[in-house]
Amino acid sequence: MLDLNDIAMFVQVVRCGSFAEAARRLGMPPNTVSRRIQQLETHLQTRLLQRSTRKLTLTSAGQAFHDRCVGAVDGLLEAGQALVTGSDEPSGRVRVAAPADFFDFFQMEWVAEFLAAHPRVRLDFVLSDAKADLIAEQIDVAFRGGPLRDSGYIGRKIFDPRSVGLVASPAYIARRGAPQTLQDLANHDCVISAQPGGHATWHLVGPNGEEEVQVAGRFSGNTAQALRKAAVAGLGIALLPPVMANHQINAGTLVPVLAQYQPKGFGLNVLYPSRRQLPLAVSAFIGLVIERMNGGDERL
C-alpha cells in the first residue's frame, strides 16, 4: 500500500525543486527525504525524478503522477489548516507568472484591495514575456497572452480578444477624421511597435475573417504602454491589447476606430498545474483577475 506521507513528500520536493529545500520545510534531514522518494519509486516501479547535481526534473511518469496527486495533497493540507484556524480563509503564498507589461493594464490598486481582503495571503509576481515552467519555477498560476496552445497544464480564457483594439484620441479624430475602411489607414498616422523603416503589419479579424494591413507612422515604441501614451497624446491610431483599449475608452481618453475589426491573438489566458482542487488563495486570486478584466469593475 502506498504511504500517503511519501506522496505528500514527493509533492513538496517537486514544489521546492530540491531535496534540501523540501527537507528544510519539512524539518527533516535531506537524506531521509531522498530515501523516502526512492522508496516511493520502488513501490511504483518507475522513476519519478531525474536527479543531477544542479536540479531535479520530473520524468513523464513523475509529471503524470504529480498532476494526479497534487490536488488531493493540497486539499488535505487545506482541510487540516481550516480545522486548525477554524475557517476556510485563503492563506499562503501565491506565486504568479505574468507578461512583463501585466501591470500596464492591471491596476496595482486591485492588488492592494485583494491583499487587504485576504490578510493571510502573500503574492509573489514573476514578470517576463518568456513562458514559465510552472513546475520547475514553482508557479501556482500563470497568465499568458495570445492563443492558448497545448502545454500539459489546465488553461482557460479569461479575456476574450473579440473586442475593440484600434483606438485614437478624440483630438486626433477631430483633426484627421475617422477611417472608414482598413485601406484608409494608409492615409493616417499610426503608432506602431518599433520596426525598421517605420512600417508595421497589423493582423485583424473582421467581417471577412482574418485580414492584415500595412500601416506606417512617425512614432514607434517597444511597449504597449508607450503606444498607449502616444495614442492618448494624439500622435496617431494605435492597436492596443483590448483590456488596455477598453480602460482608456471608459476613461474618455481614447475612442474606438473601425470597431468592426478586432486584434488577432490578444486574448489573455490563465494556466495552472493540473489539479482537482486549487488552493483557496490561488482560486481567490484567479477570481479577482477574471472579475476585473472581464468588466466586473467600472474602471476597467
For residue 94, the SS3 value is strand
Query: Domain 92-160+267-293 class?
Result: alpha beta
Domain boundaries of the chain, sorted by first residue: 4-85, 92-160+267-293, 166-263
Start-to-end CA span in the chain (Å): 53
Q: What is the CATH number of domain 166-263?
A: 3.40.190.10
Mean model confidence pLDDT for the chain: 81
Distance in angstroms (rounded) separating the CA atoms of residues 99 and 243: 14
Q: What type of residue is 136?
A: A
- Grid cell locating 160: 476574450
pLDDT band at 86 (very low <50, low <70, confident <90, very high): very low
Same fold, 92-160+267-293 and 166-263: yes
pLDDT band at 149 (very low <50, low <70, confident <90, very high): low
| Residues 184-229: tens digit of each pLDDT | 999 999 999 877 777 889 988 888 888 999 999 899 988 888 899 9
Query: Domain 4-85 class?
Result: mainly alpha
Report pLDDT for 299.
Answer: 36
Query: Is residue 126 predicted with pLDDT exceeding 50?
Result: yes
Report pLDDT for 232.
Answer: 96
Task: Tell me the whole-structure pTM to 2 decimals.
Answer: 0.55
The strand ranges marked E within 172-218 are: 190-193, 199-206, 209-216
| Residues 263-286: tens digit of each pLDDT | 876 667 788 775 556 778 888 898
C-alpha neighbours within 13 Å on the C-beta side of residue 163:
19
Most confident of 81-85, 216-220, 242-246: 216-220
Angstrom CA distances, 264 to 98, 198, 217, stand at: 20, 21, 21
Interior/surface letters 253-262, b for 16+ CB within 10 angstroms, e for the rest: bbbbbbeebb
**Mean pLDDT confidence for 122-151:** 78
Dihedral through CA 240, CA 244, CA 246, CA 249, nearest 10? -80
Which residue is associated with the grid cell 488596455? 244
**Mean pLDDT confidence for 180-186:** 93
| Residues 3-24: tens digit of each pLDDT | 778 888 888 888 888 888 888 8
